[in-house]
Chain A
Amino acid sequence: MFDKEQLKSIKAKKEEWDCGPVEKVCAKFPERRSVFTTISGEEVDRLYTPADVADLDYENKLGFPGEYPFTRGVQPTMYRGRLWTMRQYAGFGTARETNARYRYLLKQGQTGLSVAFDLPTQSGYDSDHPLSMGEVGKVGVAIDSIDDMRVLFDQIPLDKVTTSMTINAPATVLLAMYLALAEAQDVPYDKVGGTVQNDILKEIICRGQYIYPPLPSMRLTVDLIKYCYEYVPRWNTISISGYHIREAGSTAAQEMAFTIANGISYVQACMDAGMEIDSFGPRLSFFYNAFTNVLEEVAKFRAGRRYWAKIMKERFGAKNPRSMMMRYHVQTGGVTLTAQQPLNNVVRVALQTLATAYGGAQSLHTNSFDEALCLPTEEAVTVALRTQQIVAEESGAADSIDPLAGSYYVEAMTDRIEEEIDEYIKKIDAMGGTLKAIEEGYIQREIQDSAYRFQKEIEANERIYVGINKYTMEEPPLKNLLKVDPKQQEIETEKLKKFRAARDQEVWKSALDRLDEVSRTDENVMPAVIEAVKAKATVGEVCDVWRNIWGEYRPKEFV
């Protein structure tokens, strides 16, 4: 970008400046710290100059929005055309209550729905299962059957909204219910749009909502991808998630690296199942975290986009540019929120939203300020949504594409994170792939070590967290927290009992038998799952069919 003579002169002058004025000032007034680092522990220099981006080849490394390698964004006009989708993850209690929250959010201008399921649903247990005790309707909505699904989307036309479902191990089952519901609403499959998370590897690495061993789990993942490619073309079949990896304590670069490593595994699995890279490549999507260090986050997103494009093109031979695009959803960092002085979280979320906008995300969920304390109240959810709207409409961040490109700092950081990603991918390849690296506990340990380092930094006051280790104060506890009715489980259990008694037992039984049969072959399970849920099989019953065949996964824990 700069000619050699110019660079030489800049380098020389930088050295003069370092040894001259800087040294003089530092001698009198030492800098606040001897080393400055980002929240991920990346060292940050005092000043960045063109010398730090000397080999920045604009056309190859940055290019133009909507063009390979997509560093500057995946669409030609980005937010000048359409703002990112504001999608608030919500769900609690019964399907009825959640439906009311959805309709409220749609009325407030939200453009897509996002379903949070309770933990029993996520781990494939019905509400009346012993392990569901205490969990029903707690962190999301309890869905046991097609009837619950119908209530959840009551008066919401499935061809008018897109729905993102945070569901992994039983993703096939919940998608089947959604499709069955669309059918009942007379909406053809090709008009149905949305996303299932369907990312089992990160469940095994750090989120814990797994059911089956990795191999059969991957088979379900691939079956869903394959089925949607053929019949539900607008569905995003997987949301490869770094969000939880970051929440578990990873650095920004690790978040991107391990997510891409998982992505590589899924692509490989689909190709091994005989799919063409460009058939499913365009439907892969990603899900990331955004922390408060704006510039590091922006660099992370840019580096990830560039690296993924390269992987898809060079490693997997994708031809369709859409296969090379890393499209992603972002959620602001849950672990960055403090229970102390919770209103400060509004500011954190605003900065994270800014980072997301500068980074070029396709959709965003902003956390509510009270989430370190409880499930978000309606007031807090509204502020969170308004935060996005302010950044989108008032800040100007959405008006020019990738506006931080060319910043010496951001470009240098982008390169550095990309290098780190590359090192991890090479290491994982050498170990024999992600599954092996997970089995050996390598990825888990890397994340835990980062979490540990961070905690030690906070406790040693080497890193400042407002309200935690500096600017603390006594404060009265927050009032009016959202509570879920503890009677929930009884209500759901009662409902389930009636539901089971009322269904046609023969149809139900034969649908489950058919599923069992198909699951033991190489045939795609999706059609049989759709038939089973239509025959009123519950989430737990479908999952039990597979538990019987494949057993349950017990991971090795690495502390």
Chain B
Amino acid sequence: MKKIFTIVIFTENKIGLLSRITSLFTQRHINIESLTTSESEYTGIHRFTVVIHEVEDKTKKVVKQIEKQVEVLKAFCFTDEDTIYSEIALYKIRLDETIDRVALEAVVNTNGAFIKEEIGEFLIIEKTGHKEQTHQLFEELKPFKIQGFVRSGRVSLSRTFSTFSQHLQYLETHSKEIITQ
């Protein structure tokens, strides 16, 4: 049965790695639901967060293929239960005379969102949360005529102790051994 998996990949910061990694999904006809990359807590090491909807076996195999790439340090695979995750969404509303400002602010408040900025006749609302929650707000803002909407990819951290720092330490000691041999 297919379910949502979050694949977290730690890589060297190199041109082309994104493409090398995404092509592994393409080859297996796996659609990427969302993808986020940024520098990780370790200088020079990048973290990819890839969300896919797939069966477990195929997911585990693609994770091994990712880890096989020579500039990938480590790849982990999590279910939603294993992680704390979030997305951020921004909504743009035009404040014309038909907008009931009080009702709008009520929707914003009940959804745990906030008004990030008011620029002239536009309002930018920000909401973080799971996709269902940002979608819920989207639905509720529809009557106020949404002028713009954007949702980020997922960011996530595991609920458990991260083994990556240990792994990194092992890799560094191990590669030093090879180099000084």
Verify that A and B bind, or say they do not: no
Q: Residues on B close to A: CB < 8 A?
A: none
Interface on A for B, CB 8 Å cutoff?
none
